[in-house]
Amino acid sequence: MSLVLNFWLRVTSLFSGFGEQFRAMNKWQRYSAYGLGVVALYLLPYWPDVPVLGQIVNTPGSQFETVLNDQVVIFVLIALGLNVVVGIAGLLDLGYVGFYAVGAYVTAILTSAHGNLPWLLALPIAVVISMLFGVILGTPTLRLRGDYLAIVTLGFGEIIRLTAKNMDWLGASRGISNIKKPPSMFGLKFGVLDAKPYFYLGLTMVFIVIFILHRLEYSRVGRAWVAIREDEDAAELMGVNTFKFKLWAFTIGAGIGGLAGVHYAGKVGFINPDNFPLQLSILFLAAVVLGGSGNMYGAILGGILVAYMPERLRNFSDKRILVFGIVLVLMMVFRPEGILPKRVGNEHKKRRAKSQEGEVAS
């Protein structure tokens, strides 16, 4: 046990050490580091071709870029969205897969089953409809306290799946096929075999979502969310319209879940109710909690780990879930706040304040 603990402390100190170094850099060094990081991420599909590194990252038994898109990008998007709801605003949502399914099904309906819209037009519609589902589900339940929300959302995820399974209009258990693919853009062709274009598209979605969430987090909205998570009653007594901001968190989360569904549907071209099991909701939640609930970058890391590790460890596939369970339990015991804990305050602002203090002192 102490061996595990020791190892764990080393891993986590590695992360915080990295953070310290990063913080010590000046503005231009930091921007170049960001730039290099972004380029490296867009080149991810080629990582397996790099000697040594390729050996480490490549996934046995499944195509690396397919794993990147179908698993990693989807999980990261979802972890980002769910983190707003669970991690930042502190609302336990156990049926997040429902919004993912709504996004995918709306795309399928509009581009194949009952319409002929292009994928690009279906995307905003599907996201808005997912958000509407968020409003419809959130309005009655967010007035209640946490436990009710957990139960109602759990039910919601199942209701969506069962409705899809039992309605012929939604393809019943056969599902819906021939979903349109994203249109060619920037020289990228979205076909059946090559997963790389989808990955580039998905990664771009991730960056856009990060950008939006970052702006929200460091604003009146983000402060209201965290205040609600920390002490809902005190927040309301300090003038926060708690219901309104909880509903926003829920709705924005739903929209991002829907977006992930749109991307998924466009890639696979065929969906059925079995793609959206309850178990997926639990995995989504595990990603957020494992990575660091309340920290956007923690959630991303959690999404990557939960999506990628099972593929990487495919060689001992029958024990994957067991290993995963053990890891989660160990996390709960030794690091309940997740790999990357919540960040308090805005690092940039802090750094600026520090350097100003230094100027005054000197």
Partner 1 sequence: MSEVLLDFNNVTMQFGGVTALNEVSLQIKQGEILGLIGPNGAGKTTCFNVMTGVYAPTLGTVSFEGKNLAKLKRFEITKVGIARTFQNIRLFSEMTALENVMVGADARKKASVGGAILRTSRQRHEEKESRERSMELLQFMGISDRAETAARNLPYGYQRRLEIARALATEPKLLCLDEPAAGFNPAEKEELNELILKIREQGYTVLLIEHDMNVVMKVSDRVAVLDFGQKIADGLPADVRNNPAVIAAYLGVEDNAS
What does the binding site for partner 1 look like in residue numbers (CB under 8 A)? 212, 215-216, 219-224, 226-227, 229-231, 233-242, 248, 252, 294, 342, 344-345, 349-350, 353
- Dmax (CA) for the chain in angstroms is 74
Non-local CB neighbours of 261 within 8 Å, separated by 6+ positions: 99, 100, 101, 102, 103, 104, 105, 106, 107, 126, 130
Least Å from the CB of residue 33 to partner 1 = 23
Least Å from the CB of residue 229 to partner 1 = 8
Least Å from the CB of residue 206 to partner 1 = 16
Our CB check for partner 1 shows the closer of 221 and 278 to be: 221
Our CB check for partner 1 shows the closer of 317 and 356 to be: 356
Packing angle, helices 74-82 and 296-312, rounded to 10: 150
Our CB check for partner 1 shows the closer of 214 and 319 to be: 214
Closest CA relative to residue 139, chosen from 129, 149, 147, 130 = 149
298: its two tokens: 């923690």
Least Å from the CB of residue 62 to partner 1 = 36
Q: Is the CA virtual torsion 329, 333, 337, 339 positive or negative?
A: negative
Least Å from the CB of residue 129 to partner 1 = 18
Our CB check for partner 1 shows the closer of 74 and 235 to be: 235
Least Å from the CB of residue 341 to partner 1 = 10
Our CB check for partner 1 shows the closer of 158 and 236 to be: 236
Our CB check for partner 1 shows the closer of 22 and 169 to be: 22
Least Å from the CB of residue 344 to partner 1 = 4
* 230 neighbors 223 (Cβ within 8 angstroms): no
Our CB check for partner 1 shows the closer of 30 and 343 to be: 343
Our CB check for partner 1 shows the closer of 33 and 353 to be: 353
Least Å from the CB of residue 27 to partner 1 = 19
